[in-house]
Structure 1
Amino acid sequence: MLDALPHREKRPAPPRAPVPRPTGSREPIAADQLTIVPANQATAEDLEAVFGTRGDTARCSCQRFRMLPKESWASEGPEELAARLRDQTACGNPEAKSTSGLVAYLDGEPVGWCAVASRADHPRLRRDNRIPWMDRDEDKADTTVWAVTCFVTRVGFRRRGISRALARAAADFARDRGARAVEGYPDFVDGGSVGTLDTFADAGFAEVARPGRRRAVMRIDF
């Protein structure tokens, strides 16, 4: 079981170079303007450019649903969590057989991230008693159901449609990797890193449950 994995030793992060904050157009970005690749084809520097070096995204490094019992942002620290993300993505290793997400590029610049992997690979998600399990007959250990758990758009490129393009690409990626279904768990009040209802609906996901006043389960069955 994933929850039984031993606690990992914290690892130092490589030196971080300042990441410039891009500025420019606020025009919507069409999906065909983006190049979206599995994260193992991206570099560690590309990931850092998207996540930044400050704020919640840099502090979490997409580990919210992957932490083991008793782990937290504070207990593990940003350097350890960033190291885990590099391991999970296998960034810089185009020959890797697995990765944990996708990276979007605009004119060669990394601008977005989407986490997509087997639902069973997320220990904290499996421990949640409500989302995504409430009123559903689901096997928490089923590795053929995948989950889209996080979107990050680089500062300077937000609210331009990148997450929507990533959601569509994530569904295709999950199907191509053998998933029989893929889910998302949007917050339809403010979205945040888990995405909005519209982000998933526009990508072809259908609502299958509402486990709370502000959360939905969106799903595509292949």
Structure 2
Amino acid sequence: MSAMPPIEAEQLTTVPANEASWADLQAVFGTADAGHCQCQRFKIRGWIWRDSTQEERTAMLQDQTACGDPTAPSTSGLVGYVDGEPAGWVAVEPRTAYPKLRTSRVPWTGRIEDKDDAGVWAVTCMVVRKGFRGRGLTYLLARATIDHARSRGARALEAYPMVTQPGRQITWGELHVGPRQAFEEAGFREITRPTVRRTVMRIDF
């Protein structure tokens, strides 16, 4: 079987999650790693699996995204459609919206930064629906976060992606933060490298 072709920019439409249906978002998440987490890793203050149930995490995501409510004052990310089919999700909000990100060492190692600065937004999770993976969609989603954050008043946008290494397999569960290359090509620059496999990247508006 031949590989599916790369997804072209003109095939992708992204909308704030509150303008997408809940059914579309859940189709993207499916039942794999993202389906279990429901994008709550950086939202829950305690240990995610111990301190919440699947039903609670699902309800939290539904509340945070406000799916199906175009008049909602805020939402927690973007839903991507490829040729009209729900295909991807990217979480992008003010950095202050992520309590657990505040206590993680990755964003803060090697720099002094105001953790309460709501003008700095963060990209924390990317999900590509099965059937659309391996076709460059994460690169397009990374680009989409820039205009979204800037249009909503952000003065800077950060990401905390994975550094992929040749010959080393990375699972989709690990790669939920996105690959470094996707943000680099979108115009983010590396500001710190807290671990061998994680980097902090940023774009200032």
Same fold (TM over 0.5): yes
Q: CA RMSD in A?
A: 1.3
Residue 84 of structure 2, aligned match among 95, 104, 108 = 108
Letter in structure 1 aligned against 2:193: R
2:19 is matched with which residue?
A: 41
Total equivalences in the alignment: 196
Given that 1:59 and 1:77 are in contact with CA atoms closer than 8 Å, whether structure 2 keeps it comes out as no
**Once the 2 structures are TM-superposed, how far is the Cα of residue 74 of structure 1 from its aligned partner?**
3.9
1:65 is matched with which residue?
A: 42
Q: Which runs of 5+ in 2 are unaligned?
A: 165-169
Given that 1:59 and 1:73 are in contact with CA atoms closer than 8 Å, whether structure 2 keeps it comes out as no
Aligned partners of 1:176 and 1:162: how far apart in 2? Answer: 22
Given that 1:50 and 1:154 are in contact with CA atoms closer than 8 Å, whether structure 2 keeps it comes out as yes
2:195 is matched with which residue?
A: 212
Matched, 1:197 2:173: no
1:125-164 matched pairs, under 5 angstroms: 125-128=101-104, 130-164=105-139
1:3 is matched with which residue?
A: none
Matched, 1:79 2:55: yes
Residue 117 of structure 1, aligned match among 86, 93, 104 = 93
**Once the 2 structures are TM-superposed, how far is the Cα of residue 91 of structure 1 from its aligned partner?**
0.4
**Once the 2 structures are TM-superposed, how far is the Cα of residue 155 of structure 1 from its aligned partner?**
0.5
Given that 2:40 and 2:48 are in contact with CA atoms closer than 8 Å, whether structure 1 keeps it comes out as no
Residue 109 of structure 2 aligns to a residue in which SS? coil
With over 3 angstroms needed to count, the CA separation of the structure-2 counterparts of 1:56 and 1:181, relative to structure 1, is: same
Which runs of 4 or more aligned residues in structure 1 lie more than 2 Å from their structure 2 counterparts after TM superposition?
none
What is the CA deviation profile of residues 42-82 of structure 1, one whole-angstrom value per residue up to 9, with x for unaligned ones? 11101110000x221100011001112x3422431222111
Given that 1:41 and 1:92 are in contact with CA atoms closer than 8 Å, whether structure 2 keeps it comes out as yes
Q: TM-score of the superposition, structure 2-length normalised? A: 0.92
2:167 is matched with which residue?
A: none
Aligned partners of 1:116 and 1:25: how far apart in 2? Answer: 30
Residue 4 of structure 2, aligned match among 26, 38, 45 = 26
Aligned partners of 2:198 and 2:68: how far apart in 1? Answer: 35
Aligned partners of 2:3 and 2:199: how far apart in 1? Answer: 32
Q: Which runs of 5+ in 1 are unaligned?
A: 1-23
Letter in structure 2 aligned against 1:86: Q
Aligned partners of 2:155 and 2:14: how far apart in 1? Answer: 22
Q: Percent identity?
A: 55
With over 3 angstroms needed to count, the CA separation of the structure-2 counterparts of 1:136 and 1:91, relative to structure 1, is: same
1:97 is matched with which residue?
A: 73
Letter in structure 2 aligned against 1:199: A
Aligned partners of 2:193 and 2:48: how far apart in 1? Answer: 27
